[in-house]
Every structure is written in C-alpha cells, then in structure tokens.
Amino acid sequence: MVRVCFAKLGAIGSAVISEYLLDERADRQDLEVRVITSGSKMGETEAEEVAEKVLEFNPDIVIVASPNATLPGPKKLRDTLKSAGKNVIVLSDAPAKKIIEELENEGFGYIIVTGDSMIGARREFLDPSEMALYNSDVIKVLSATGALRAIQLAIDRAIQNGELPKLVIDAWKAVESCEFSNPYALAKAFAAYSIAEKVAAITTKACFVEKSAERYIPMVAAAHEMMRYAARLADEARELEKSCDSVLRTPHARDGKVLKKTKLMEKPS
C-alpha cells in the first residue's frame, strides 16, 4: 500500500482534481491518498500548518501543488517536507520554470504545467462563479490536450518505481501523451494548449501592472475569453478523435497498473 499525499496552497487548474487522477473510479487497492489544503491562501503560516498535517499522515510521496512555486509559502512547504525525508514532487505553473535548477539540485521532482495560466484575479471581474468557470475551461484544456494524462503518468511512475519526475509540460509534452491518431487533432490540441499558455501574459499584466480599472477589467475579461476558446478548440480536437474512434484512454486497474485502449467498445489492457 503506497501512501500518497497532496499538499495544496492556493488553486491551480492542474491541482483541483489532481487527487482523483490517481484513482478515478475509487477502486484501486494499492493506494492510500490524502489531501491537505489551505484554501486560497498560500502564506508561510499556512505552509507550516499544512506540512505538519502531511507529515502526520506519513506519506511515501507528497505532491506539493501551488501556483507560482517561487513564492515563500510553497517553498516553505516543500522544504519542510523534504527536510523530514519525504519524496516531494512540486506541481506548479509557468513561473516555476525559473527555479528548475534549484529544484533539481535540492532533489525535488517537478511537474510544471505551462498551459495552466493564472486566473484574472481582479475584484470587479472575478467572483466565485467566474473563478469556477475559468477553472472549468482550464480543466477542459488540460484534459483534452493530454496535460492531465502526462501528470497522471508521471505520478503513476513515481508511485510504481519511486522515480521523481522532471517534467515541463509544454504543448509538445501534452499532446504526445494523447497519442492522437489524427494529425489535425494533434494540431488542434497543440493550438489549444498554446492559447492557454498565452493567457498568463495578459492576466499577470492586468493583475500586477495595470492600475486603471478601465484597462485591467477588459484585460482579465479578455484573458478568460481566450481560455474559453482554448477549451472549445481542445474539445474540437477530442471530437476529431471520436470521429476516428481513436480516443486514447488510460484507466487504472484495481492493482494500480495503467491500462490502455483506444476503440470505445473494447476492453482496456
């Protein structure tokens, strides 16, 4: 029985459903999973408290998920866990690319999802419903383009053989994990992921640079429209694979093995 723990500070699309990626039908018998989260807050205080609970669970592997892993909170969290001797995988978004070398040197595994762009966090625009809509679109993009499968497989490998991933999921890494049979489906998924990646350029400017509401409101709204269209295009990619009955599926067996199938009516094996 492997014990896996997800420790989350703040929200990123890749992480909101990450624990379910490992046991999507709740029938694995080789795995115990816990998740400890501090909600939206990602300060050092939260990090410490979360770390404490994680350690009480005594996990074999911990996935530390947060936006922007360069911030003090996420750093505190992973460092505390590492110091306690845990295998730690950092799951984060594009800004984390800046600390890849540091992570490698310190023995962390990492999964960096460049398409998991920052939300348009301005009070005039972002209420709980808009937050949810954005995450809906992000999850659609990440799942239909293959990014979530890449995360699944990386964590699955870590569980199976202890190998910590060193993975930056860019458009290529995402679409490769879908093994598209139709090359236009691949191209559409690549395009969808690429649009998703660019959203952060607008949200970060709108949230941290623009001071005028006249400008930052339309910008965050535009950023969410981009993600909405990225989600549509990702859906179009998947529909194309449906038309060829070649949608790749990688469900878990009860013993945790990753199975594989493409034709809808066949058994996975």
Question: Which residues inside 100-119 make contact with its own copies, applying CB under 8 A?
Answer: none
Query: Using the rule CB under 8 A, which residue among 116, 186, 203, 204 binds its own copies?
Result: 186
Query: Using the rule CB under 8 A, which residue among 211, 212, 255, 265 binds its own copies?
Result: 265
* x/- letters, 117..146, toward its own copies (CB under 8 A): ----xxxxxxxxxxxxx-xxx-xx-xxx-x
For position 266 contacting its own copies by CB under 8 A, the verdict is yes
For position 158 contacting its own copies by CB under 8 A, the verdict is no
Nearest residue to 156 (alpha-carbon basis) of 251, 14, 37: 251
| Other C-beta atoms lying within 10 Å of the C-beta of residue 92 | 28
Smallest distance from the beta carbon of 62 to its own copies, in angstroms?
13
Transcribe 50-89 into DSSP letters. Answer: HHHHHHHH--SEEEEE-S-TTSHHHHHHHHHHHHTT-EEE
For position 37 contacting its own copies by CB under 8 A, the verdict is yes
For position 68 contacting its own copies by CB under 8 A, the verdict is no
Nearest residue to 113 (alpha-carbon basis) of 129, 131, 89, 96: 96
Q: With CB under 8 A as the contact rule, which of the stretches 77-85, 89-97, 160-168, 183-191 interacts with its own copies?
A: 183-191
Query: Using the rule CB under 8 A, which residue among 2, 30, 261, 262 binds its own copies?
Result: 261
Q: Is 162 helix (H, G, I), strand (E, B) or coil?
A: coil
User: Which amino acid is present at 27?
Assistant: D
Tokens in use for 171? Answer: 């458009």
Query: Using the rule CB under 8 A, which residue among 34, 82, 97, 257 binds its own copies?
Result: 34
For position 209 contacting its own copies by CB under 8 A, the verdict is no
Overall size of the chain counted in residues: 269
Query: Using the rule CB under 8 A, which residue among 20, 104, 106, 162 binds its own copies?
Result: 20
Smallest distance from the beta carbon of 24 to its own copies, in angstroms?
4
- Taking a C-beta distance cutoff of 8 angstroms, is the pair 58, 81 a contact? no
For position 84 contacting its own copies by CB under 8 A, the verdict is no
For position 171 contacting its own copies by CB under 8 A, the verdict is yes
Q: With CB under 8 A as the contact rule, which of the stretches 74-82, 95-103, 109-117, 222-230 interacts with its own copies?
A: 222-230
Distance CA 43, CA 38 (A): 9
Nearest residue to 27 (alpha-carbon basis) of 254, 197, 193, 248: 254
